[in-house]
């Protein structure tokens, strides 16, 4: 089979590689379409080191080509969206249902080979049956969508609430639609105005480029018509975005963080205590894949407008270059 093999930072070659054989409990999936994201870029660039050689890629839809011993579901020929994380299943965190927090969690495309290839071997339990009648490309972002489905659930967003989403990348543009599906009003906030028109098209009632001069506190108050928004979902993963979220939220409100700020993030905890702000971390997903696919199938979340570019697998180096361009949101790769 063909696979894009990363031999070291920025050393990526599409090569012929032996087709993997599914072991007991595993499925072999023929990749139909794969999404490229910032995590892949940070692996490609070497910022996030992995064991080399490695096949990257963790957002994908495909068809089950073969199954290993003992697998009753999925079946050969099934179309599946793959949940690219699996946990040990035995530790206290896993046993209590917190499998996303398992200390020995395995990430497909990071810890083991992923989907920038024609075929990929995954545990059978990672395969979610794709709803009939929904195109592969529409399901391609099920993985990032599941992340924000969990974030909205963590924040217990209710109908009629005034909410804000910080960041207008893939996660932000999906989050605002999930919040809309909960019946909330959404203010989309981004450092740049570039994607705010798309945010409006996808259902944001109001948008704001936070580099503008008006104070973010005022923007939150004006939108909520009270002391600030009830709930903020932060998706950008920067110290600035965390600060923006804390400026938008009202006293007694909730801030849910889905981005992973790698830099030290100054937070005035005086203001957190004084205003009784709940700050919640939300890490990937536990059981949100089915709900993410349901939202796409029901048309409550539109994913296609996020796909800005298509490339064949052999053009993957160009895809990584285009990923860095401001015009790019989500790139689809086809083997
Ligand atoms: Zn991703
Ligand atoms: Zn575990």
φ, ψ at 178 (rounded to 5°): -65, -40
Enter the tokens of residue 170.
């893939």
pLDDT in tens, 145-186: 999 999 999 999 999 999 999 999 999 999 999 999 999 999
Q: Which residues fall within 8 angstroms of residue 193, CB to CB, at 6 or more apart?
A: 207, 209
Looking at residues 46-55, what average pLDDT do you find? 96
Q: Say how many Å lie between the CA of residue 129 and the centre of ligand 1.
A: 20
Taking the CA atoms of the chain, what radius of gyration do you get in angstroms? 20
Checking phi first, is residue 237 left (phi over 0); if not, alpha (psi -120 to 50) or beta?
Answer: left
pLDDT for residue 211? 78
Question: In this predicted structure, what is the pLDDT of residue 214?
Answer: 77
**Ligand 2 mean position, distance from CA 283 (Å):** 15
Upper half-sphere CA count for residue 47 (Cβ side, 13 Å): 7
Separation between Cα atoms, residue 18 and residue 128, nearest integer Å: 26
Cα 58 to ligand 2 centroid, rounded to whole Å: 20
Q: Per residue in 97-124, pLDDT tens?
A: 999 999 999 999 999 999 999 999 999 9
Spatial separation of the C-alpha atoms in residues 290 and 293, rounded to whole Å: 5
Residue 212 has pLDDT above 90, yes or no: no
Render pLDDT for 61-91 as a digit per residue (tens, 0 to 9): 999 999 999 999 999 999 999 999 999 999 9
- Ordered DSSP codes for 165-193: EE--SHHHHHHHHHHHHTT-EEEEEESSS
Q: Which ligand is nearest to the CA of 99?
A: 2
- % residues pLDDT > 90 (the chain): 96
């Amino acid at each position: 089979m063909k696979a894009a093999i990363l031999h070291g930072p920025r050393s990526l070659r599409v090569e012929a590689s032996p087709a993997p054989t599914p072991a007991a409990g595993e499925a072999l999936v023929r990749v139909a379409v794969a999404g490229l994201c910032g995590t892949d870029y940070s692996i490609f660039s070497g910022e996030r080191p992995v064991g080399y050689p490695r096949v990257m890629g963790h957002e994908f839809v495909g068809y089950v080509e073969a199954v290993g011993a003992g697998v009753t579901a999925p079946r050969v020929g099934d179309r599946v969206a793959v949940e690219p994380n699996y946990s040990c299943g035995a530790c206290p965190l896993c046993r209590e249902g917190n499998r996303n927090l398992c200390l020995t969690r395995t990430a497909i495309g990071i810890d083991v080979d992923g989907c920038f290839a024609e075929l990929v071997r995954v545990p059978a339990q990672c395969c979610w049956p794709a709803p009939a009648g929904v195109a592969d490309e529409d399901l391609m972002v099920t993985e990032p969508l599941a992340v924000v489905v969990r974030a909205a659930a963590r924040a217990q967003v209710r109908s009629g609430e005034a909410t804000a989403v910080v960041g207008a990348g893939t996660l932000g543009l999906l989050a605002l639609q999930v919040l809309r599906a909960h019946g909330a009003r959404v203010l989309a906030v981004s450092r740049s105005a570039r994607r705010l028109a798309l945010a409006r098209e996808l259902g944001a009632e109001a948008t704001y480029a936070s580099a503008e001069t008006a104070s973010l506190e005022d923007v939150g108050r004006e939108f909520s018509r009270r002391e600030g928004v009830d709930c903020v979902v932060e998706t950008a993963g920067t110290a600035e975005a965390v600060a923006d979220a804390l400026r938008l939220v009202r006293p007694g409100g909730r801030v849910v963080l889905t981005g992973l700020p790698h830099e030290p993030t100054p937070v005035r905890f005086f203001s957190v205590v004084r205003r009784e702000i709940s700050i919640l971390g939300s890490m990937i997903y536990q059981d949100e894949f089915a709900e993410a696919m349901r939202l796409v199938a029901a048309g409550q979340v539109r994913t296609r407008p996020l796909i800005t570019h298509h490339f064949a697998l052999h053009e993957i180096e160009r895809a990584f270059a285009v990923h860095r361009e401001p015009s790019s949101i989500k790139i689809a790769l086809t083997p």
